[in-house]
Amino acid sequence: MATALRRLAKCSVSARLLSFAGHSRGRRGHFARPCTVVAQRNFSSASTMTVDLDSSTGIAVMKLHSPPVNSLSLDFLTEIAISLEKLEMNKGCRGVVVTSALPKIFSAGLDILEMYGKSPERCGEFWRAVQEMWLKFYSSRLVTVAAINGSSPAGGCLLSMTCDYRIMADNPRYSIGLNETQLGIVAPFWFKDTMVNTVGHRTAEIALQLGLLYSPQDALKIGMVDELVPEEKLVSTATEAMARWFAIPDHARQITKSAMRKPTIDKLLSARETDISNFVSFITKDSIQKSLKLYLENLRKKKA
Ligand SMILES: CCCCCCCCC/C=C/C(=O)SCCNC(=O)CCNC(=O)[C@H](O)C(C)(C)COP(=O)(O)OP(=O)(O)OC[C@H]1O[C@@H](n2cnc3c(N)ncnc32)[C@H](O)[C@@H]1OP(=O)(O)O
Protein backbone atom coordinates (compact mmCIF):
# COMPACT_ATOMS: atom_id res chain seq x y z
CA MET A 1 0.00 0.00 0.00
CA ALA A 2 2.66 2.49 1.09
CA THR A 3 4.78 1.66 -1.96
CA ALA A 4 1.81 2.22 -4.25
CA LEU A 5 1.13 5.54 -2.51
CA ARG A 6 4.75 6.56 -2.95
CA ARG A 7 4.64 5.77 -6.67
CA LEU A 8 1.53 7.88 -6.99
CA ALA A 9 3.16 10.80 -5.19
CA LYS A 10 6.23 10.53 -7.39
CA CYS A 11 4.31 10.63 -10.66
CA SER A 12 2.17 13.63 -9.84
CA VAL A 13 4.46 16.17 -8.17
CA SER A 14 6.36 17.28 -11.23
CA ALA A 15 3.14 17.88 -13.14
CA ARG A 16 1.82 20.09 -10.38
CA LEU A 17 5.02 22.07 -10.11
CA LEU A 18 4.94 22.76 -13.84
CA SER A 19 1.34 23.78 -13.61
CA PHE A 20 2.03 26.07 -10.66
CA ALA A 21 4.98 27.67 -12.41
CA GLY A 22 2.69 28.60 -15.30
CA HIS A 23 3.88 25.96 -17.78
CA SER A 24 0.91 23.66 -17.50
CA ARG A 25 -0.07 21.48 -20.41
CA GLY A 26 -3.61 21.59 -19.03
CA ARG A 27 -4.47 20.82 -15.46
CA ARG A 28 -7.26 18.36 -16.06
CA GLY A 29 -5.21 16.19 -18.36
CA HIS A 30 -2.36 16.06 -15.91
CA PHE A 31 -4.20 15.22 -12.76
CA ALA A 32 -7.32 13.34 -13.68
CA ARG A 33 -5.59 10.01 -14.29
CA PRO A 34 -3.43 9.33 -11.24
CA CYS A 35 -5.84 10.53 -8.56
CA THR A 36 -9.62 10.52 -8.57
CA VAL A 37 -10.86 13.10 -6.13
CA VAL A 38 -14.42 13.50 -5.04
CA ALA A 39 -15.56 16.45 -2.96
CA GLN A 40 -16.29 15.05 0.45
CA ARG A 41 -15.98 16.13 4.01
CA ASN A 42 -13.47 13.68 5.36
CA PHE A 43 -10.69 13.57 2.85
CA SER A 44 -8.28 11.06 4.26
CA SER A 45 -8.66 7.43 5.13
CA ALA A 46 -5.13 7.26 6.56
CA SER A 47 -5.02 6.43 10.25
CA THR A 48 -2.16 8.86 10.76
CA MET A 49 -4.17 11.95 10.00
CA THR A 50 -7.58 13.40 9.39
CA VAL A 51 -8.26 15.87 6.63
CA ASP A 52 -11.59 17.66 6.78
CA LEU A 53 -12.63 19.98 4.02
CA ASP A 54 -15.38 22.48 4.73
CA SER A 55 -16.91 22.98 1.33
CA SER A 56 -18.69 26.17 2.43
CA THR A 57 -15.38 27.94 3.21
CA GLY A 58 -12.92 26.03 1.01
CA ILE A 59 -10.70 25.46 4.06
CA ALA A 60 -9.31 22.02 4.85
CA VAL A 61 -7.87 21.13 8.24
CA MET A 62 -5.13 18.51 8.16
CA LYS A 63 -4.54 17.06 11.63
CA LEU A 64 -1.43 14.95 12.00
CA HIS A 65 -1.89 11.95 14.23
CA SER A 66 1.09 9.63 14.31
CA PRO A 67 1.83 8.87 17.98
CA PRO A 68 3.87 9.29 19.98
CA VAL A 69 5.41 12.44 18.45
CA ASN A 70 4.34 12.81 14.77
CA SER A 71 7.88 11.94 13.67
CA LEU A 72 8.08 11.97 9.90
CA SER A 73 8.72 8.43 8.67
CA LEU A 74 8.80 7.42 5.02
CA ASP A 75 5.18 6.27 5.09
CA PHE A 76 3.93 9.25 7.07
CA LEU A 77 5.69 11.72 4.77
CA THR A 78 4.12 9.97 1.80
CA GLU A 79 0.65 10.12 3.32
CA ILE A 80 1.02 13.81 4.10
CA ALA A 81 2.20 14.55 0.57
CA ILE A 82 -0.63 12.57 -1.01
CA SER A 83 -3.24 14.23 1.18
CA LEU A 84 -1.99 17.64 0.11
CA GLU A 85 -1.99 16.51 -3.52
CA LYS A 86 -5.64 15.47 -3.25
CA LEU A 87 -6.55 18.87 -1.82
CA GLU A 88 -4.57 20.59 -4.57
CA MET A 89 -6.68 18.82 -7.15
CA ASN A 90 -9.99 19.71 -5.54
CA LYS A 91 -11.32 22.93 -7.02
CA GLY A 92 -13.43 23.47 -3.92
CA CYS A 93 -10.35 23.74 -1.73
CA ARG A 94 -8.54 27.10 -1.43
CA GLY A 95 -6.56 26.68 1.76
CA VAL A 96 -5.29 24.19 4.29
CA VAL A 97 -4.54 24.48 7.98
CA VAL A 98 -1.89 22.01 9.14
CA THR A 99 -1.94 21.11 12.80
CA SER A 100 -1.41 18.21 15.18
CA ALA A 101 -3.98 15.95 16.77
CA LEU A 102 -1.45 15.01 19.48
CA PRO A 103 -1.10 16.91 22.74
CA LYS A 104 1.99 19.14 23.15
CA ILE A 105 3.70 18.13 19.91
CA PHE A 106 3.28 19.53 16.42
CA SER A 107 5.95 17.24 14.96
CA ALA A 108 9.25 15.90 16.33
CA GLY A 109 10.72 16.26 12.86
CA LEU A 110 12.17 13.54 10.71
CA ASP A 111 11.95 10.07 12.17
CA ILE A 112 15.46 9.48 13.45
CA LEU A 113 14.89 5.73 13.21
CA GLU A 114 14.65 6.17 9.42
CA MET A 115 18.21 7.51 9.45
CA TYR A 116 19.75 5.08 11.90
CA GLY A 117 20.87 1.57 10.96
CA LYS A 118 19.14 1.60 7.58
CA SER A 119 20.46 0.47 4.20
CA PRO A 120 21.67 3.13 1.74
CA GLU A 121 18.73 2.23 -0.56
CA ARG A 122 16.19 2.78 2.18
CA CYS A 123 17.90 6.04 3.23
CA GLY A 124 17.67 7.23 -0.37
CA GLU A 125 13.99 6.38 -0.59
CA PHE A 126 13.37 8.17 2.69
CA TRP A 127 15.19 11.29 1.56
CA ARG A 128 13.25 11.42 -1.71
CA ALA A 129 10.05 11.42 0.38
CA VAL A 130 11.38 14.29 2.52
CA GLN A 131 12.14 16.26 -0.64
CA GLU A 132 8.72 15.40 -2.05
CA MET A 133 6.84 16.68 0.97
CA TRP A 134 8.85 19.90 0.97
CA LEU A 135 8.33 20.42 -2.77
CA LYS A 136 4.59 19.87 -2.50
CA PHE A 137 4.07 22.26 0.39
CA TYR A 138 6.51 24.91 -0.73
CA SER A 139 4.97 25.08 -4.21
CA SER A 140 1.34 24.61 -3.20
CA ARG A 141 -1.27 26.70 -5.01
CA LEU A 142 -3.27 26.62 -1.75
CA VAL A 143 -3.04 29.09 1.10
CA THR A 144 -1.20 27.08 3.74
CA VAL A 145 -1.34 27.99 7.42
CA ALA A 146 0.53 26.09 10.13
CA ALA A 147 -1.30 26.01 13.47
CA ILE A 148 1.61 24.95 15.65
CA ASN A 149 0.12 23.46 18.78
CA GLY A 150 3.25 21.98 20.31
CA SER A 151 6.98 21.50 19.95
CA SER A 152 8.28 21.62 16.44
CA PRO A 153 11.98 20.78 16.13
CA ALA A 154 13.92 20.28 12.87
CA GLY A 155 11.70 18.67 10.20
CA GLY A 156 8.62 19.82 12.15
CA CYS A 157 9.89 23.39 11.94
CA LEU A 158 10.67 22.88 8.25
CA LEU A 159 7.11 21.69 7.56
CA SER A 160 5.71 24.79 9.26
CA MET A 161 8.14 27.07 7.38
CA THR A 162 6.86 25.77 4.04
CA CYS A 163 3.50 27.30 4.90
CA ASP A 164 2.44 30.83 3.99
CA TYR A 165 1.67 31.77 7.58
CA ARG A 166 2.47 30.35 11.01
CA ILE A 167 0.45 30.72 14.18
CA MET A 168 1.84 29.14 17.35
CA ALA A 169 0.29 28.34 20.70
CA ASP A 170 1.66 30.74 23.30
CA ASN A 171 3.03 28.12 25.66
CA PRO A 172 6.61 28.56 26.96
CA ARG A 173 7.03 24.78 27.19
CA TYR A 174 6.94 24.49 23.40
CA SER A 175 9.90 25.14 21.15
CA ILE A 176 10.61 25.46 17.46
CA GLY A 177 13.72 25.63 15.31
CA LEU A 178 16.18 23.76 13.12
CA ASN A 179 18.29 21.98 15.75
CA GLU A 180 20.12 19.58 13.39
CA THR A 181 23.62 20.57 14.54
CA GLN A 182 22.71 19.48 18.07
CA LEU A 183 22.31 15.96 16.67
CA GLY A 184 25.69 16.21 14.92
CA ILE A 185 23.97 16.43 11.53
CA VAL A 186 23.66 19.25 9.05
CA ALA A 187 20.54 20.91 7.69
CA PRO A 188 20.77 20.52 3.90
CA PHE A 189 20.83 23.59 1.65
CA TRP A 190 17.09 23.67 1.01
CA PHE A 191 16.28 23.52 4.75
CA LYS A 192 18.76 26.40 5.12
CA ASP A 193 17.23 28.30 2.19
CA THR A 194 13.72 27.92 3.63
CA MET A 195 14.99 29.29 6.95
CA VAL A 196 16.77 32.20 5.25
CA ASN A 197 13.60 32.99 3.29
CA THR A 198 11.66 33.03 6.55
CA VAL A 199 13.87 34.87 9.05
CA GLY A 200 16.67 36.43 6.99
CA HIS A 201 20.30 35.51 6.51
CA ARG A 202 21.94 36.71 9.72
CA THR A 203 19.33 35.23 12.05
CA ALA A 204 19.36 31.97 10.09
CA GLU A 205 23.14 31.81 10.31
CA ILE A 206 23.11 32.02 14.10
CA ALA A 207 20.08 29.75 14.47
CA LEU A 208 21.47 27.05 12.18
CA GLN A 209 25.03 26.98 13.51
CA LEU A 210 23.87 26.78 17.10
CA GLY A 211 20.92 24.50 16.32
CA LEU A 212 18.69 26.84 18.31
CA LEU A 213 15.23 25.91 19.49
CA TYR A 214 13.19 29.02 20.23
CA SER A 215 10.36 29.57 22.69
CA PRO A 216 7.17 30.84 21.01
CA GLN A 217 7.90 34.40 22.23
CA ASP A 218 11.43 34.32 20.79
CA ALA A 219 10.22 32.66 17.58
CA LEU A 220 7.78 35.54 17.18
CA LYS A 221 10.57 38.09 17.75
CA ILE A 222 12.74 36.65 14.96
CA GLY A 223 9.81 36.14 12.58
CA MET A 224 9.92 32.36 12.60
CA VAL A 225 6.24 32.47 13.53
CA ASP A 226 3.84 35.26 12.63
CA GLU A 227 1.40 35.22 15.50
CA LEU A 228 0.94 33.73 18.99
CA VAL A 229 -2.45 32.86 20.44
CA PRO A 230 -3.79 30.86 23.38
CA GLU A 231 -3.82 27.21 22.39
CA GLU A 232 -7.61 26.84 22.39
CA LYS A 233 -7.87 29.62 19.82
CA LEU A 234 -5.29 28.22 17.45
CA VAL A 235 -7.40 26.58 14.77
CA SER A 236 -10.12 29.25 14.84
CA THR A 237 -7.45 31.97 14.49
CA ALA A 238 -5.90 30.04 11.62
CA THR A 239 -9.19 29.86 9.73
CA GLU A 240 -9.79 33.57 10.43
CA ALA A 241 -6.29 34.40 9.16
CA MET A 242 -7.14 32.52 5.99
CA ALA A 243 -9.81 35.13 5.18
CA ARG A 244 -7.12 37.77 4.61
CA TRP A 245 -5.42 35.57 2.05
CA PHE A 246 -8.71 34.57 0.42
CA ALA A 247 -9.55 38.25 -0.09
CA ILE A 248 -6.79 38.42 -2.72
CA PRO A 249 -7.61 37.04 -6.18
CA ASP A 250 -6.18 33.51 -6.25
CA HIS A 251 -4.27 33.85 -9.52
CA ALA A 252 -2.50 37.05 -8.39
CA ARG A 253 -1.54 35.54 -5.05
CA GLN A 254 -0.43 32.23 -6.59
CA ILE A 255 1.76 33.85 -9.25
CA THR A 256 3.32 36.06 -6.59
CA LYS A 257 3.96 33.07 -4.34
CA SER A 258 5.55 31.22 -7.22
CA ALA A 259 7.76 34.21 -8.08
CA MET A 260 8.97 34.37 -4.48
CA ARG A 261 9.63 30.64 -4.09
CA LYS A 262 10.55 29.39 -7.55
CA PRO A 263 14.31 30.05 -7.34
CA THR A 264 14.50 28.05 -4.10
CA ILE A 265 12.38 25.23 -5.54
CA ASP A 266 14.32 25.14 -8.81
CA LYS A 267 17.57 24.90 -6.87
CA LEU A 268 16.46 21.63 -5.30
CA LEU A 269 14.83 20.32 -8.47
CA SER A 270 18.05 20.76 -10.40
CA ALA A 271 20.11 19.04 -7.71
CA ARG A 272 17.67 16.43 -6.48
CA GLU A 273 19.65 13.30 -7.25
CA THR A 274 22.92 14.81 -6.01
CA ASP A 275 21.16 15.87 -2.83
CA ILE A 276 19.94 12.29 -2.31
CA SER A 277 23.39 10.80 -2.82
CA ASN A 278 24.93 13.45 -0.53
CA PHE A 279 22.40 12.58 2.14
CA VAL A 280 22.97 8.84 1.79
CA SER A 281 26.75 9.08 1.96
CA PHE A 282 26.58 11.53 4.89
CA ILE A 283 24.02 9.70 6.99
CA THR A 284 25.57 6.24 6.55
CA LYS A 285 29.02 7.41 7.77
CA ASP A 286 30.09 5.62 10.96
CA SER A 287 30.70 8.90 12.80
CA ILE A 288 27.19 10.19 11.94
CA GLN A 289 25.59 6.88 12.89
CA LYS A 290 27.40 7.12 16.25
CA SER A 291 26.05 10.65 16.82
CA LEU A 292 22.51 9.52 16.01
CA LYS A 293 22.84 6.50 18.33
CA LEU A 294 23.98 8.74 21.16
CA TYR A 295 21.16 11.21 20.51
CA LEU A 296 18.56 8.43 20.54
CA GLU A 297 20.00 7.03 23.78
CA ASN A 298 19.85 10.46 25.37
CA LEU A 299 16.22 10.87 24.28
CA ARG A 300 15.40 7.54 25.93
CA LYS A 301 17.47 8.32 29.08
CA LYS A 302 15.70 11.64 29.50
CA LYS A 303 12.47 9.68 29.73
CA ALA A 304 13.77 7.04 32.20
C1 LIG B 1 25.32 16.98 3.19
C2 LIG B 1 24.06 17.20 3.99
C3 LIG B 1 23.31 15.93 4.14
C4 LIG B 1 22.07 16.04 5.03
C5 LIG B 1 22.31 15.56 6.41
C6 LIG B 1 21.10 15.08 7.17
C7 LIG B 1 19.99 16.03 7.35
C8 LIG B 1 18.94 15.50 8.28
C9 LIG B 1 17.94 16.51 8.68
C10 LIG B 1 17.21 16.11 9.88
C11 LIG B 1 16.08 16.63 10.28
C12 LIG B 1 15.32 16.18 11.46
O13 LIG B 1 14.16 16.46 11.59
S14 LIG B 1 16.11 15.23 12.62
C15 LIG B 1 15.00 14.99 13.95
C16 LIG B 1 15.21 16.05 14.97
N17 LIG B 1 14.23 15.93 16.03
C18 LIG B 1 14.52 16.08 17.27
O19 LIG B 1 15.66 16.38 17.66
C20 LIG B 1 13.40 15.87 18.25
C21 LIG B 1 13.75 14.92 19.30
N22 LIG B 1 12.61 14.74 20.20
C23 LIG B 1 12.34 15.57 21.20
O24 LIG B 1 12.99 16.59 21.43
C25 LIG B 1 11.22 15.16 22.10
O26 LIG B 1 10.91 13.79 21.85
C27 LIG B 1 9.92 16.00 21.87
C28 LIG B 1 9.48 16.03 20.41
C29 LIG B 1 10.10 17.42 22.38
C30 LIG B 1 8.78 15.32 22.69
O31 LIG B 1 9.17 15.13 24.01
P32 LIG B 1 8.34 14.15 24.98
O33 LIG B 1 8.99 14.23 26.32
O34 LIG B 1 6.89 14.47 24.86
O35 LIG B 1 8.50 12.71 24.32
P36 LIG B 1 9.76 11.74 24.38
O37 LIG B 1 9.62 10.86 25.56
O38 LIG B 1 11.04 12.50 24.22
O39 LIG B 1 9.56 10.90 23.02
C40 LIG B 1 8.59 9.88 22.90
C41 LIG B 1 9.17 8.77 22.03
O42 LIG B 1 9.38 9.28 20.72
C43 LIG B 1 10.75 9.09 20.33
N44 LIG B 1 11.13 10.21 19.45
C45 LIG B 1 11.12 11.50 19.73
N46 LIG B 1 11.50 12.22 18.67
C47 LIG B 1 11.76 11.34 17.69
C48 LIG B 1 12.18 11.46 16.33
N49 LIG B 1 12.42 12.64 15.76
N50 LIG B 1 12.33 10.34 15.62
C51 LIG B 1 12.09 9.14 16.16
N52 LIG B 1 11.69 8.96 17.43
C53 LIG B 1 11.52 10.05 18.19
C54 LIG B 1 11.51 9.08 21.66
O55 LIG B 1 12.76 8.43 21.52
C56 LIG B 1 10.54 8.30 22.51
O57 LIG B 1 10.67 6.93 22.16
P58 LIG B 1 10.54 5.74 23.22
O59 LIG B 1 11.51 6.06 24.35
O60 LIG B 1 10.93 4.52 22.46
O61 LIG B 1 9.10 5.81 23.65
Could you confirm whether 240 is annotated as catalytic?
Answer: no
Q: How far apart, in Å, do the first and last CA atoms of the chain sit?
A: 36
The answer to whether 231 is a known catalytic residue is no
Report the alpha-carbon angle 298-114-289, nearest 5: 55
> According to the model, what pLDDT value does residue 47 have?
86
Q: What is the pLDDT of residue 304?
A: 67
| Domain range list for the chain | 2-303
Q: What is the pLDDT of residues 151-206, one digit of tens each?
A: 999 999 999 999 999 999 999 999 999 999 998 899 999 999 999 999 999 999 99
Tens digit of each residue's pLDDT (9 = 90 or more) over 72-123: 999 999 999 999 999 999 999 999 999 999 999 999 999 999 999 999 999 9
- The DSSP secondary structure of 211-252, one letter per residue, reads T--B-HHHHHHHTSSSEEE-GGGHHHHHHHHHHHHHTS-HHH
pTM for this model (two decimals): 0.89
Please say if 110 is a catalytic residue.
yes
Q: Which CATH fold topology does 2-303 show?
A: 2-enoyl-CoA Hydratase; Chain A, domain 1 (3.90.226)
Which residues does ligand 1 sit against, CB inside 6 Å?
Answer: 68-69, 71, 104-105, 108-113, 151, 153-155, 179-180, 183, 185-188, 278-279, 282-283, 299-300, 303
